[in-house]
Structure 1
Amino acid sequence: AVRVSLLAATASEDGKARLWSLASGSCVQVLEDDSKVTTLAFSPDGKQLVTGSSDGAIRIWNLLSGSCSSVIQVHTEPVTSLSFAPKGGAFVSSSSDGTAEIRDLRGDRISTLRCGEPVHSAVFSPDGGTLATACQNSVVQVWAVGGSR
């Protein structure tokens, strides 16, 4: 088995996320999606990978088994970014549909942030207490993780 901490991942328009060995530079695993993979993020412990796709779906992958543990239709337009909370219990996805969604690792919704414009990126602060979204209109909004601005 490959140590997860020694991996890099790439997203691709061919509907695949690929895991690469940093030691050898070779592809060690291919994760299949039904749509273009637009973004991805490793969990802080390196045991899971979350992928977002052009159809608005998010997949949660168990990297130890190589299997997809959840497929969630989160957004109505492409997923533009994914980011994990520092402690790893939740992640945020952003989308062209003008929302950012905070979810737990089972895929259950914690909070929906309505930005009003396509969201290019969403990221947690280092302490996990706030979240920033960057929108198409060049506005950055800072949110309490509970959902208020």
Structure 2
Amino acid sequence: MNKLDIHKAGTLSGHQNPIFAIENGVVASVVYTGGNDKGVVEWDLAEMAFKRILYPVQFSVYALHLIAGTPLLAIGTRDGKGHVVHTDTRERIAKLDHHQRPIFAIKSFKTKPELILASEDGTVSIWNTHAFDLLYHFKVSDHTVRTIAISIDENWVVFGTKDGKVKLYNALDYSFVEELPAHAMPVTSLCFSPDGRYLLTGGRDAQLNVLDTSDFTVVNTFTPHLFTVYAIKFHPFSPIFATASRDKSIKIWSSDDFRLLRVISFERGFDSHLLSVNDIIWNAYKNQLISVGDDKQAIVWDVVG
């Protein structure tokens, strides 16, 4: 892919404070956002407008995750609690009360009914997604566990920590396997490529490492941004991926050879974010990219190529 046309499709305005997380809904035209506000917001992409407050919260929201194969949204908050909310009824199905420090990442499996929460306390907890019982909890680090990735075949779980470590675990029994090539500063983003060939890791050191999943050795490393790489998201079917950063930019890359294809930033002439871009997501409704940031905006992008 050599050329991409990128246009701003719209802005979702309404948050009064920075937005930290975005997640797709069961219906393609719905997305959810959360941040330093008092609620998780539901947006309608068909109308490009606010729909409702899905769930009120007392503390900042750092993580949102739609539990695989369900209409349930898991919410991680600054007080260390996990909340599971039915996206149709807005009813809270469960409160995951274990961690004492903020929840920064949440992931679930497609092949087994388990949910993973990662916390600033250096531990992760595993919950059954039927009754939401606590199954296991274990220490990963003496520092914050900032991000989680599950491999495409769901054989591996990877955790990124504040002390720059990337740790590989067996997804079957959560046994520690090995420490992978890491970063000089906190690991802030992890993502497996859709074909399962690569694990990408990003950090506060502004570095991006590309690991070959056959042996988890580094096959490429480069500096994609000026500051922290907060998000790495592969397009579900096109050979591209996007990164988002504290440097206020979003960049689109070729997933074949990791070439930079486009830069979305105010400095490049886009009506884009003026502060840190904290999260991004590819949405299936109109095949768009959505970004959220410290400037309280969620921006919808048409990416055509």
Interval containing the TM-score (normalised by the shorter chain): 0.7 to 0.9
Look up the match of 1:139.
249
Say which SS state the counterpart of residue 25 (structure 1) adopts. coil
Contact 2:181 2:217 in 1 (8 A): no
Superposed, 1:113-124 pairs within 5 Å as 113-115=222-224, 116-124=226-234
Superposed, 1:22-41 pairs within 5 Å as 22-34=129-141, 35-41=143-149
**Which 5+ residue runs of structure 2 have no aligned equivalent?**
1-109, 261-305
- The Cα of 1:73 is off from its aligned counterpart by 4.2
- The Cα of 1:25 is off from its aligned counterpart by 0.5
Look up the match of 1:111.
220
- Percent identical residues: 25
Give the distance between the partners of 1:128 and 1:103, measured in 2 at CA.
20
Look up the match of 1:14.
121
Say which SS state the counterpart of residue 112 (structure 2) adopts. helix
- The Cα of 1:133 is off from its aligned counterpart by 1.0
Give the distance between the partners of 2:244 and 2:118, measured in 1 at CA.
21
- The Cα of 1:78 is off from its aligned counterpart by 0.8
Q: What's the TM-score once normalised by structure 2's chain length?
A: 0.45
Which is greater in Rg? 2
Look up the match of 1:98.
206
Give the distance between the partners of 1:113 and 1:130, measured in 2 at CA.
16
- Post-superposition Cα deviations, 1:23-55, rounded to whole Å, max 9, x if no partner, equal 121121224212220110222222211100001
Say which SS state the counterpart of residue 167 (structure 2) adopts. strand
1:50 matched to 2:169? The reply is no
Look up the match of 2:77.
none
Aligned positions, number: 147
Say which SS state the counterpart of residue 51 (structure 1) adopts. strand
Contact 1:12 1:38 in 2 (8 A): yes
Give the distance between the partners of 2:180 and 2:153, measured in 1 at CA.
22
Look up the match of 1:127.
237
Quick one: structure 1 residues 52 and 17, their matched pair in 2 at CA, closer, same or farther if it must change by over 3 Å?
A: same
Contact 1:102 1:110 in 2 (8 A): yes
- The Cα of 1:98 is off from its aligned counterpart by 0.5
Give the distance between the partners of 1:118 and 1:136, measured in 2 at CA.
5
Considering only aligned residues, what root-mean-square deviation do their CA atoms show, in Å? 1.9
- Post-superposition Cα deviations, 1:99-133, rounded to whole Å, max 9, x if no partner, equal 12121333211221312322111112213722211
**Which 5+ residue runs of structure 1 have no aligned equivalent?**
none
Say which SS state the counterpart of residue 23 (structure 1) adopts. coil
Quick one: structure 1 residues 60 and 18, their matched pair in 2 at CA, closer, same or farther if it must change by over 3 Å?
A: same
Say which SS state the counterpart of residue 94 (structure 1) adopts. strand
Look up the match of 1:64.
172
Q: What's the TM-score once normalised by structure 1's chain length?
A: 0.88
